Amino acid sequence: EISLGLVGSEMCKETVVKDWCSFCGECAGVCPRNLIQVKEYSLVFDESECRECSTCVDACPINALEKED
């Protein structure tokens, strides 16, 4: 697993990106606050504005985003 954001950082404290993420950008396209950017082979995420709506998790076509318990 890698975290969403720069490798090694947390996304919304409880969401991770699995290592099979293809960086397709679906999550970035649906974020209602426009907080996710695809940069080469990473996702850059503005954690400070996240409201943990899980829209990005639900949008991932390959289930590479997951909320941790």
pLDDT(21) > 80: yes
The pLDDT score that the predictor gives to residue 50 is 84
What phi, psi does 14 have (nearest 5°)? -130, 10
* pTM (2 d.p.): 0.75
Task: State mean pLDDT over 7-17.
Answer: 60
Q: What is the pLDDT of residues 37-58, one digit of tens each?
A: 998 888 887 878 888 889 999 9
DSSP state for residue 38 in the 8-state scheme: E
